[in-house]
Each structure stands twice: as C-alpha cells, then as structure tokens.
Structure 1
C-alpha cells in the first residue's frame, strides 16, 4: 500500500447531516434581561449592557459553545462561531470576504468585491475589483492594499490559511487602489490548482492593513503572539460589531452606518439591531428555550422536530424528514499517530461494524438521509454533489454497516487477535483501547459515538467515549491530542467535493502542527 493511503486518517462513518436549522414561530414583544428567565444557561446576566429589547434582538442557539477565545482570523482556535468562522461559506457578521458562496446554486456573489472574478486566458492570474462603496468601521475605504496585506500577514505568520493556500497562490498584489491581482503558483507553466485559488476568495476574511500593522507593532512581529492576540479592538467592515462577549452569551450590535446599505450592495441595513447567542449547557437546555420562543433560529440537534412542527411551534427548511440539507458530514476521524489506529484493518473493522441505521434512527431521530436513499461516499447528500457520483462504480467499496462478523474476520485475517481472552484484541502486544470524543451536550454526536463504541466492543476493540467541554475538545482536535474524534470535513463550497477529498486523504496536512481541517495522520 502506498504511503499516501497509509496516511488516510479517516473512516467515513459519514452520518451526513447538517445541524437542523429551524425558525421559531413564537413571538414576544417584551424587553428581557438576556432571555434567561426559566432557562438553563451557564449563569445569569447582571450588566445593564446585557439588556436588549426583545423586538430588536434575533436570538440564536447551537452555534456557540463556551466563551469565545478571540476575534482573530489568524487564530486556529477562536471558538467564535458567529464572529470568526472562515469556512466554505464564511460567516460575515463582523469580518467580510471578497465573495459569498451560495450552496443552493453553487455560485459566488460579490461582497467586498464588485463584479465577477476574471481569469486571464491561461488561468494563471485572477483579477478582482473592490466595491468602491466598501468601508471599514472607521470610515476609511476598503482597498486592494488591504486584501494584499491580509494575504502577506497570513503567509508571514504561518496561519492555517497561509500554510494551506501558499501552496497554490504565489502572490496577491494591489494593481491599484481598487484592483487585486491573484497570481497562482505554477507547475510546468500551468496553475497547480485553480479551484484552491477560487476557494480563497469566498473563504478568507479581508482585514484592514492599518489595523494589522497596529497589531504587529504591539506584538513585536512575533508569529505566536500574532496568532494568539485577542483582537478585541478589531476594525472590520461587516454589519455587526461585538457588543457583549462572556461565558453566558455573545451579543452583536448593528453598525448603523454599515457600508452595505449602499445601492451597490444590499440597499438597506439588516433588520435586527442585535444578534444574540446564549450559551446553553447542552442541546436539551437549548430545546427548552427554543420551545418557549426565547430562541428564534436554532442550529442544533432537536430530537422532537415532528411534534414541534405539528404543534405549530417551529418551521423547518424542508417540510419533511430530514428537514435540512445534508451539506456536511459529521464523521469519525482517526489519529494515525496512535498505535493500532495506524492499521487499515482496525479502522475498516470499526467502520463496517458500526450500525448506521441505528445512528440515523436513534441518535439522529431520522434527521439524516438513509444509506438506502443516499449510499455513502465523500459526496454530501445535496442533489448537486450526488449528481457527480457513479454509484455503480462505488458499490464494491461501500458498506451498509452492522457487519460484526465481517469485521471480526477482517481483524483475524490481519493477525489482530485477543490472545489473553480478556475480550480486547492486541496489536504488537498492546491492547486496542481508545477514546472517542466530541463536545459534551452535543447529544446527537454523543449518541452516535456511543453506537461506535458498542460496535468496537462487539469486535474486541475497547472504545471509551469522552465528552469534554467544547473548548477542551477544540484544543484536543487542533493539537491532535485525541484517538478518535467526531468532526466535520469541508461542507458545500466552490471547490467541493475536491477539497473534501483532499482534506480526508492528502498527506499535505501532516506537517501542520495546529489545525482542525485536514488529515490527522
């Protein structure tokens, strides 16, 4: 087997679901103190600043778990779901990207940019114009220099984005104040990967050059300090500023002179004056608040969606199960640095022994497409990606799960046996004993890993579940301090499904010491 294949650190338990997005129908016009009455949050609000008018506040749950760490796009562990999330569809409440990606039609739309990005004839350079209306919060214009300096800083201080995209982008330069030219890295005169070049522009936040220089000065141009700076004095361009951030909640306040109200962009301000996200200890506590109308938009697992719909409490994106678009695939990832998990037979045995139907039925409460309807692969369940799959060609390498006897046979053939008859197999004299982790309170993920652990026990592999708080989990994942972890690969994006395959299988991520996006092996 090639070294590349040996480095694949993932087996696709591929539950293939997107956290259910539901919008509450209950309305209330009263003013509340953080909506804490009758609800289980980490603590109660005390500051007057925490009071926001209910009829001006949009409440979320299910995205933010635990206090945020920073407002720093250079950081690999901001734990700032609404404010600093740079993914395939980056969240642009505070910082903004050049473009936005729409997974419903697979197209990019300008945000800080104006018009479409333009490749030259041989696809070696990409030219982008900046919207002349785009402004920073301090009133200064967003310029091509800001875009270029953002790139330079990410590369200079080796952020996760800088380490990744510098393999595909040679430079980003300001041709003039409003024109950005991205030069691709070439091999034999051809762009190495035009998809990765395109992926950068709806994903990477643009930061103000003047502010970055200020942060560099106070940190003495030290890379570690730059990536751990809190940046709570941020200057950004988005429609909302940080208002409250503690271990109880995160609240954003609308920027009333936001540039996006210009006719060239949205033409008006967003309606909510405040966007608030309370911290709930688990999904159950979040559900209580959602049912009570204290949460308007829920992006967490909800166990009783059908009854809530029937009761007129909520609406969902899709009217019937699975109620959501399966744009991402929460999946069990293996750390190949752990003895035993570096063996293909062990990983595959766990994969084929796992009862996926049980995961969908119980852990997911039916909120995932079945394996029968959508045979699993690295393609998500959206129609666009499924149209790319030749299911007949994949049939011989797919499995439906719950094949305990097949898993035992596979391990026996690999010589991985229980030599002392204690119920746990050994590999090179060491018992196959591992921890499988995900954040506490993520009830669907918790239940899924319990089913994975049960599969391990059935085939002689000891898998103990471990559910730390979210911040501890993020630290474990980003520093590769885990055995088995449940996490999601790249979702719907301009470069997918290619990027997802790359993240799952490429050894390029092996040398990145701190990251949460790629092959952990």
Structure 2
C-alpha cells in the first residue's frame, strides 16, 4: 500500500507524549470563575488587546455575518432583546420583561427605555420590527442571509418572504417600547427566535436588502452602529480592529476606554501573552492544548478552560448545488446533483470507522477535548451520547464495508477502484487559520489511505476564499474540514443540518431527518422536554446512519487573559460577557 507513514508515526509519538504529560501534570481544568485571583483596585479607563488567529472577512452586520471572527466584533457592538445565563436560561437584555398569551402563540416584550444607538438615536420597537422584517424579506437569502430560522415560525412568513404580500405581520410594534412576536402556532422556540441581535432601522431603512451586505454601515468603522457597550471605530483590514467605549451605554458607561483586536499567528500568541502585548486570547480558537503547561507557568496569565460549545467536523458531500443556484443565492434541493463518489451509505460509514478520532484528541489536543458523535452541543439536555452509532476506530470494519459496497483494489496499486473498476479518488479540502485542523488534515488522509481510499489532499486556502468556495463553488468537492461554534439558545440543529439550511454545505437532503426536526418543535408535544429529547435522539441516530458529516471532536476551550484584566465572567459558550464591566488594574 502506498500510504505514507510519517504522519502516523508523529501521531503515535504525540499520543505517547500526551499520555506522559497527563501522567506528570494531572491538573484539574482552571476555574472559569477566577477563583484565587487577587483582584486589585480597578483603574479608570485603559485599553486591552485581544488576539484572534484569523482576520474577519469584513462583514459586520448581525443579520448577514457568517464567521466567528466577525462575531468577536459584533459581541461588543450589538445586542438582542434577551441574553443567557450560565444555565443557558434566557434573561433580560434590551427587553426588560416579557409575557406570553394563553396559547403560547404570542410573546410581548417591554423594552428598556434608556437604550440608544451609538449615534444617539433612541432604540425602539420599530428597530426590532425592521430587523425581523428584513430577515423575512424577499431577497434576503439571495443576498447571502442564512438566519431564516429566526423568522420561519412567524405569522405570514411564507407569504411575505415569497412576495405574495407586502404586509409583515410576524412582529408588531405596540408602542415605542413594546413589541409583540406573533407565531403561526404555539412556539416552543419563541424566546430563542426573539433573541437575535437587532440592527437600526434609521440606518438601513432606505437600503435595498440586496445591497445591505456591501453597504458602508455593514462594513466600515464609524458607520457600523449598534447598542452595545463599544463602538467599532477603526481598523487596519486584516490586522487590527479598534473598539472604543460608548459612554452613553444603557447599562452604564464601560470601565475600559477601548478594546483592540489584533490578528496574529497562533505561533506567536504565547510570546505576546507573556510579554503583555496582548491581554487575552479567547473565541473562537483560544490557545493550543500543546501549550497548556507553558501558559500555566506564566505568572501574569490566568487560564479559563471549559468544554467547547461547538465541534470540528469533516463534511461529506452528499449532493452538489447547481452553479445556477449558487450564483442566484438560492437553496433548492430539487436542483442538486448526487455526488456519485459518496452516494453509498456504507462508504460514508467506512470513512467514519477509518478515522481514529480519539487518537486525534489525545495526540493533537493532548487529551483536552472529547470525541463527539452528534452535531448537538454536549452541554445541552438533547445530546445523546449512547443511542447513535459511536463509530469506534475500526479499520477492519471500514475495509469490510468498502468491500461490501464493491469498492476494491482491482489493479494492485493499494487503492480501491469504484464498483465499475474506475479510479476512485476523494478530494479533501481545508482552510488555513486553525493549526490543529491544519495538522489533522494529512493525518486523516493517511487514516483513509490505510483502508485503501485514495485521497487528493488539496492545498489549503485562506479562510475567506475557502468559505466562499464552499458556499458557491464546491460542485467538485467530496470532503471538507470545518469548525462550528453553535447557537446556545436551543439545541435545535436545523440551522446547520436541515435540507434548506444555508450552512448545510454537505447538501444533505433527508426527508426523514427533516421531519424529526420539525416534530421536535411541533406543539403541543414539543412543550414537553422529554418529547423533544426523544425526537432529537431519533434525529441523531438518523444523522449517524446517513452521515452527512463525521463529527471529529470538541476541543476544550482554552482561553487566557492577563491578570491585570479583571471583571471576566465567562458563559458556557463565550468569553465575551458583560464586557462593560471589564477593567484593568494597571
């Protein structure tokens, strides 16, 4: 067999080193509560610097952005009516209270009267209506919008989104500080649906939906307007992004003067932390597990470790989107074409058995992570870690499944041909930016080649180009690596894995799975959590059988900050919480 051995040898070595490190270190994860830190008196003002390893693509509009790197900016600048606490329960934010009607088809929010936009305009119920109306509008999806799950259950969505009516009935302003969400039926996801970040009507009302993503107000410092504690004030594209405090912030003037994001290579983050050039590294990638002991030894740095609210995965292209639909920005499964190279379910299952995922966790993450078998966050009540197929590493099982499917090595070159005896090569695509993911790609290649699957490991691309290709030009792709940071508001995976989801890059079209997702929030049964848990369990089984993706692992979130930065109070899904309370001691 032609499979190279170098990466496998390195993985074995990494496994051994990981075990040794675990045996000698044996430390409990650092607390997320800053226990034991000695808080000094806060200093008024000051600047802190955060590091991220990949540059934002440059779209800073909550209803259109697609990456965690933009979220790093938007988490400071924009807000929703609700936020969540550490138990993932909804708590007031721009809305101070809410009430449901008797049949759970309406929820009315009372808005905070003190909230205002960065340009001084008052925040009102009309802004909430405008935000949701825009997401529901004809042309939103075509313009690149992928958040229709927040509006699909609103009254009249189908008629409004298709242009059959111009009357938007789903969200109604009762008065300046009262807004009602109206749903077509009792909605178990009502608070989740109403929690999305709000954009200002007065800024965007005269801009056609198709033009919003390219508008200056969606891209340029000084023009991006939110209600959050910091304003996006300056940037050097791809290098540095500056946020200055919004003195009139409705929850009180932020204690810091500014927050600066710098884009730096992961390889230099430790040195910058040590010498104080950066004050924190957190979402989405933090620092590397291999560097844990080094960071732990830095006297001026504190570690925050907790399970990641997301996962790394290898997508398997079931179907390919048509070029016409890609250009038009539409999602239409009827126009998809089957990926012949991966159409056999046994082949996809063989791929899952062939990858030593625990080896990746132990070797590349030094054990600081878990193998995950479902695209639902492990922190949610809906995650099922027993019923779905667990796909323990079993290369012999992988080989047997490939044999059963008719994929055999007929010419003796060490690689399998397809059932017709023709060359069978799967291409594997991955982006730059996440070093662990980059290192995993050639290892996965070798695992697959060990069972006779010929892999074309393509050259990695910069993240922006990669995701554009994945969305619009992936007609010849087979396998792709990607990481997802998940929505914390509800375990429902529809936004990534329903057939009509824009993020369903595998173009998975499974009516049974779609129906289970619908059942999971169809009343009245869906108001019982046990019922929803059962439906999501059944869906996870279906996902595991049909395999639009092999969930690889969930790394532990490893975040760190200089001890001079205080007021940190992390959430299960984010380091960036209550940033108006952040302060420095020197």
TM-score by length of 1: 0.73
Q: Following the alignment from structure 2 to structure 1, what is the Cα–Cα distance between the partners of residues 448 and 378?
A: 27
Contact 1:350-1:452 within 8 A present in 2 as well: no
Unaligned runs of 5+ in 1: 1-17, 27-52, 86-90, 262-268, 318-322, 510-514
Q: Describe the shift of the 1:478–1:198 C-alpha distance in structure 2 as closer, same or farther (beyond 3 A).
A: farther
Query: What's the offset of the Cα at 1:172?
Result: 1.0
Please name the residue that 1:336 is paired with. 318
Give the C-alpha shift of residue 260 in structure 1. 2.2
RMSD: 3.1
Question: Secondary structure in 2 aligned to 1:365?
Answer: coil
Instruction: Report which stretch shifted further, 74-83 or 106-115.
Output: 74-83
Equivalent residues in 2 for 1:221-260, closer than 5 Å = 221=208, 223-231=209-217, 232=220, 233-245=223-235, 246-260=237-251
Q: How does 1:215-364 map to 2 (within 5 A)?
A: 216=207, 221=208, 223-231=209-217, 232=220, 233-245=223-235, 246-261=237-252, 269-280=253-264, 282-299=265-282, 300-302=286-288, 303-317=290-304, 323-337=305-319, 338-364=339-365
Alignment of 1:78-97 (within 5 A): 80-82=69-71, 91=75, 93-97=76-80
In 2, Cα distance between equivalents of 1:284 and 1:471? 20
Asked whether the equivalents of residues 230 and 244 of structure 2 are also in contact (C-alpha less than 8 Å), the reply is yes
| Displacement of 1:210 | 1.2
Q: Any idea what SS the aligned residue of 1:247 has?
A: coil
Residue of structure 1 equivalent to 2:481: 486
* Equivalent in the alignment of 1:448: 440
Instruction: Report what 2:116 is aligned to.
Output: 135
State the secondary structure of the residue aligned to 2:428.
Answer: strand
Distance verdict in 2 for CA 1:506–1:426, change over 3 Å: farther
Does the C-alpha gap of structure 1 residues 66 and 434 become closer, same or farther in structure 2, counting only changes over 3 Å? farther
Equivalences for residues 342-491 of structure 1 within 5 A: 342-369=343-370, 371=371, 376-382=373-379, 385=381, 391-394=385-388, 397-401=389-393, 403-427=394-418, 431-463=423-455, 464-479=457-472, 481=474, 482-489=477-484, 491=486
1:94, distance to aligned residue in structure 2 (A): 1.0
Q: 1:60 aligns with which of 46, 50, 54?
A: 50
Taking a change above 3 Å as real, the CA distance of residues 391 and 69 of structure 1, as seen in their structure-2 partners, is closer
DSSP-derived class of the 2:306 partner: coil
Query: Partners of 2:54 and 2:386 in 1: how far apart?
Result: 41
Q: Is the 8 A contact 2:132 2:151 kept in 1?
A: no
Q: Give the unaligned 5+ runs of structure 2.
A: 1-28, 38-42, 156-169, 320-338, 509-586
Q: Which residue of 2 aligns with 1:6?
A: none
Give the conservation status (yes or no) of the 8 Å contact 1:83–1:95. no
Contact kept, 8 Å, 2:147 with 2:495, in 1: the verdict is no
Q: 1:432 to 1:225 in 2, by over 3 A?
A: farther
Number of residue equivalences: 424
Task: Give the conservation status (yes or no) of the 8 Å contact 2:124–2:176.
Answer: yes
Flag the 1:422–1:275 CA change in 2: closer, same or farther, 3 A. Answer: same
Aligned-pair distance for 1:305?
Answer: 0.6
TM-score normalised by structure 2 residue count: 0.66
Instruction: Find the aligned partners of 2:136 and 2:197 in 1 and give their Cα distance.
Output: 14
Matched, 1:516 2:503: yes
Instruction: Provide the rounded CA distance (Å) in 2 between the counterparts of 1:120 and 1:466.
Output: 55
Over 3 Å counting, the alpha-carbon distance change for 1:253 and 1:315 in structure 2 is: same
Alpha-carbon separation, structure 2, partners of 1:54 and 1:433: 61
Q: 1:206 to 1:94 in 2, by over 3 A?
A: same
When residues 381 and 326 of structure 1 are mapped into structure 2, their CA distance, relative to the original with a 3 A threshold, is farther
On the 8 A contact 1:489/1:504 being kept in 2, the answer is no
In 2, Cα distance between the equivalents of 1:517 and 1:391? 23
Once the two structures are TM-superposed, the CA of residue 183 in structure 1 deviates from its matched residue by: 1.1
* 1:26-45 map, 5 Å: none
